[in-house]
Homo-oligomer: A and B are copies of this chain.
Amino acid sequence: MSSEPSQPPPRRAPQRASLAAVSRHAGVSIATASRVLNGSSHPVADATRAKVLAAAEELGYSPSALARALVTRRSRIIGVIVGDIVDPYFAEITRGIEDEGAKAGYMTIVCNADRRTELERDQLSLLADYQAEGVVFAGSGYAGDERGDELAEGVARARERGIKVLSLAMRDFECPRVLVDNRAVAFDITDYLISLGHRRIAFIRGPEGLHTSALRLEGFREAMARAELHADLVQEGDFTYDGGHAAGRRMLTAAELPDAVIGANDEAAIGALAALRQGGVAVPEAISVAGMTDTRLARFSDMTTVNVPLYRFGALAARRIIDGESEPGAAETVLPHRLVPRATTRRRQ
């Protein structure tokens, strides 16, 4: 033993056991090992099968998803591009995608685009590099977006490469969609408040340019118009708590409080709700407040809102990708929304 080198060999990390290792260990060809280890329908003798299984077990073999994806051209990866994963709106959607994906052995890559179109484009091409089988755009697009063309181009290329692209809101590029009728969402909550006897209804809008903002504002206006009410109490907003809070404070300083306030999303509505209450205004006694989307925030605040099935958005999108549906089919799926009356609204005395 004195002939052994004094330096232990710089042994590399044990690496993962490869298919080659398993086949060697089992005394069969690599092809045979592959056949038993990936539920191939190709016939294999029971005895051989057993040997391979035993070898795989012993070596702790687990196939390389990377290598497999490379050759099969199926990565089992779904990409989702969100504005901000911390926003419960996107988190709910993501959860839907992940759950549905996981059932089918898919991994979900989440990309934050910070609500910026150019980042969405970057994320999309990154996902394409990883050969994602599908990419879900969770957020809405902007009207007259300068970067819109670039994105549309990227989407077109991705699709050419066989990547399924879906969106969960209005988008300026061609692709199947899963969404709600946002105009109807806003119409319904507005109509509900009107039915409660409110006349002067304020609306805190979403970010400038966002399609969803525009649609919801339209829905509000339509409902008001139909009741022959003025839809002139429209406040700036940006879907954030702070934006809603600021809007609420502006209302406090106005000559006259509105009868009711609608936020273009829950977060803005909750911000306004907080501002009003902090300003000494009783909700719902003096003024009603309602939001849209029905995130957990709304529930926690016991706030009236409209339920939008975000989780189902995600789950459905994932399913479409996994099933590999033909692109043109079912271009647009409109899911039902639902009014959720809670404690921040009441009939006007």
Contact = CB atoms under 8 A, between A and B. Distances in A.
Contact of A94 (B85, B241, B270, B302): B85
B70 A98 contact: no
Number of copies: 2
Interface residues of A, number: 54
Contact of A111 (B85, B98, B162): B98
Interface stretch (A123-131, A137-145, A204-212): A123-131
Interface stretch (A9-17, A167-175, A279-287): A9-17
Interface string A49-66: 000000000001011111
B302 A300 contact: no
A15 B63 CA distance: 25
Given A88-B86, A110-B98, A62 B274 contact: no
Interface in A84-107: 84-86, 88, 91-92, 94-95, 98-99, 102, 105, 107
A339 interface: no
A155 to B, nearest CB: 14
A129 B270 contact: no
Interface string A38-78: 00000000000000000000001011111101100001000
Nearest to A123: B102
Contact of A66 (B13, B69, B86, B302): B69
A309 to B, nearest CB: 14
Nearest to A114: B99
Contacts of A162: 13, 15
Contacts of A335: none
Nearest to A14: B160
A110 B101 CA distance: 12
Contacts of A70: 64, 66-67, 70
- A-B complex: 6 closest residue pairs judged by Cβ atoms: A65-B129, A86-B91, A13-B162, A65-B130, A110-B110, A66-B70
Given A99-B112, A300-B301, 13 more contacts: A65-B129, A65-B131, A66-B75, A66-B130, A70-B70, A85-B85, A95-B112, A102-B112, A105-B126, A108-B109, A241-B296, A241-B300, A278-B302
